[in-house]
Amino acid sequence: MNHFFCCDYSRQLGEDIIGSATNYQTYILVESLQPWMSEAFQSKLVPDNLRVLVEEVQRSKLSIRFLLIANDQSHKLEQTTLLIYQKQEGLSNGYHKQEFKLPNIEQAAGVVRKWLSGGKPDYQIETSITRDILVCTHGSHDQCCARYGNPFYFYAKSTISDLQLDDVRVWRSSHFGGHRFAPTAIDLPEARYYGVLDQDSFRSILTRTGDIGFLHKVYRGWGLLASTLQILEREIILRQGWDWLNYKVAGKILEQSMDNNTMLADLTYENPAGSLYTYQAKLVKDAVKTQVLKSSCHATQESLVVKYAVANLWLVDRKLASTTGQN
pLDDT in tens, 58-79: 999 999 999 999 999 998 888 9
Predicted TM-score (pTM) of this structure: 0.91
Kindly report the number of other CB atoms within 10 A of residue 327's CB atom: 16
Bridge partners for 320 per DSSP: 275
For CATH 3.10.450, the residue range(s) in the chain are 227-320
Rounded CA-CA distance 191/221 in Å is: 9
**Residue 291 is inside which H or E element, if any?**
strand 291-293
For residue 244, the one-letter residue type is W
* Secondary structure class of 47 (helix, strand, coil): coil
To the nearest 10°, the Cα dihedral for 69, 216, 208, 152? 40
Predicted local confidence at residue 29, as pLDDT: 98
Predicted local confidence at residue 325, as pLDDT: 43
Closest alpha carbon to 156 in 134, 128, 140, 189: 134
Predicted local confidence at residue 147, as pLDDT: 83
Q: Is 251 exposed, middle or buried (0-12, 13-18, 19+ CB in 10 A)?
A: buried
- Are the C-beta atoms of residues 104 and 80 closer than 8 Å to each other? yes
Domain 6-215 falls under CATH 3.40.190.10:
no
Reading the chain (327 residues) residue by residue, the pLDDT tens digits are 456 666 765 666 678 899 999 999 999 999 999 999 989 999 999 999 999 999 999 999 999 999 999 999 998 888 999 999 999 999 999 999 999 999 999 999 999 999 999 999 999 999 999 999 999 998 766 677 778 899 999 999 999 999 999 999 999 999 998 878 989 999 999 999 999 999 999 999 999 999 999 999 999 999 999 999 999 999 999 999 999 999 999 999 999 999 989 999 999 999 999 999 999 999 999 888 777 666 665 666 777 777 899 999 999 866 554 444 443
Domain 227-320 falls under CATH 3.10.450:
yes
- Are the C-beta atoms of residues 201 and 156 closer than 8 Å to each other? no
Predicted local confidence at residue 324, as pLDDT: 42
Q: 162 Cβ partners below 8 Å, 6+ apart? A: none
Predicted local confidence at residue 98, as pLDDT: 97
For CATH 3.40.30.10, the residue range(s) in the chain are 6-215
Bridge partners for 52 per DSSP: none
DSSP states of 205-249 as a string? HHHT-S-GGGHHHHEEEETTS-HHHHHHHHHHHHHH-GGGGGSEE
